[in-house]
Structure 1
Amino acid sequence: MHRFGLDAVWWLVSPGNPLKARGPAAMADRMAVARTVMQHPRVTVTDIEAKLGTRYTAETLAALKAVYPRTRFVWLMGADNLAQLHKWQDWRTIMEGVPVGVLARPGDRISARLSKAARVYRADKLPARASRLLAGAEAPTWCFVNLPMSTASSTAIRASGGWGAG
């Protein structure tokens, strides 16, 4: 929140990733783990994607904007997702629809910075030193920031029931 100048964060627990062959664990279990892991007064863990019935991020963003027309949204993603964003359905709609904050992930910094999305939107990149301006920026602005990182994968976190996995 601080790095990107955000008032709040919604952690969207997705009903499923269309790019993954295996389906996720039960939604109730993933919501419980996410709520245990993230206990911050300005972070809301939500299953709104399941409630909206959206499958793809671009659809979710369109639905959120329709339901919350006065809210300025910023999409946050890990560098691993930026590295393969060009495989996502309507990925350009995402980049052109909301500012995007990219958080460094172990092993994905270089691939993210050299990704198709990073190359296509190179001129729209906000320098990390100006990351706090992202919340007020117009799309297709995006910003890549380095943060203290955990090597724990989401799979390991789910398996352990919390951040204790390494």
Structure 2
Amino acid sequence: MKIGLYFGTFNPIHIGHLIIANHMAEHSDLDQIWMVVTPHNPHKKKKTLLDDHHRLHMVNLATESYPKIQASDIEFKLPQPNYTVHTLAHLQEKHPKYEFSLIMGEDNLNSLHKWKNYEVILQNHDIYVYPRLNSGEIEEHFINHPKIHRLGAPVIELSSTFIRNSIKDGKNVIPMLPNKVWEYMDHNLFYKK
């Protein structure tokens, strides 16, 4: 089984994330998409980042009607700070029959060469890349790399930062969020201060 790992803080998860995850589930050879919620780094103060369990719960709410997409808290159980190469090694050890791939935007592909042990990641895992506006030039050695698959997914320029700021400013963000996520956020008054 091929699993695509879509990492993010998902602070909050929004329709853009779901559109990309669903596109990868339906228009690639990936069997499932695991939305890996990145934990809060205990060494960094980030007031805008909700607690891990709230963000994980919102991803669960957002994905419950998508049979090929699920939330993952795998990085909550790993030592911090964590690196993708360690998460992949841990998952491969835990699920030896699964084949794990990464899902990332073109903007992240541009900085892949700065990742810890990126050569090991590329040697052992496929990377599925979705387009982003203003992502800059792709490094030449990544353009025709056999492990990098560029998919013509919809370009979604919606950010969690924009949503958080809009909520703080009293704007209506309902169309940008899955209904259950909006209800949970509204009930808990998230991002209002």
TM-score for the superposition, normalised by structure 2 = 0.63
Instruction: Tell me the SS of whatever aligns to 1:147.
Output: coil
Pair 1:51 & 2:77 matched = yes
Counterpart in 1 of 2:35? 11
**1:157–1:62 Cα change, 3 Å:** farther
Cα deviations across residues 110-140 of structure 1 (Å, max 9, x unaligned)?
A: x2xx333xx2344424xxxxxxxxxxxxxxx
Deviation at 1:32, TM superposition (A): 2.6
User: What are the within-5 Å matches in structure 2 for residues 1-150 of structure 1?
Assistant: 1-16=25-40, 23=46, 24-39=49-64, 40-53=66-79, 55-108=82-135, 111=136, 114-116=137-139, 119-125=140-146, 141-150=147-156
Q: Identity across aligned pairs (percent)?
A: 28
**1:43–1:92 Cα change, 3 Å:** same
2:127/2:149 contact within 8 Å kept: yes
- Which structure would you say has the larger Rg? 2
* Structure 2 residue ranges without an equivalent (≥5): 1-24, 168-172, 178-193
**1:69–1:14 Cα change, 3 Å:** same
User: What are the within-5 Å matches in structure 2 for residues 153-164 of structure 1?
Assistant: 153-157=159-163, 164=176
TM-score for the superposition, normalised by structure 1 = 0.72
The AA in structure 2 aligned to 1:36 is: L
Deviation at 1:68, TM superposition (A): 0.5
Alignment partners' CA distance in 2, 1:96 and 1:84:
17
The AA in structure 2 aligned to 1:34 is: V
1:103/1:147 contact within 8 Å kept: yes
1:12/1:47 contact within 8 Å kept: yes
Alignment partners' CA distance in 1, 2:85 and 2:98:
16
Alignment partners' CA distance in 2, 1:58 and 1:75:
11
Alignment partners' CA distance in 2, 1:67 and 1:27:
22
**1:157–1:5 Cα change, 3 Å:** farther
Instruction: Tell me the SS of whatever aligns to 1:80.
Output: helix
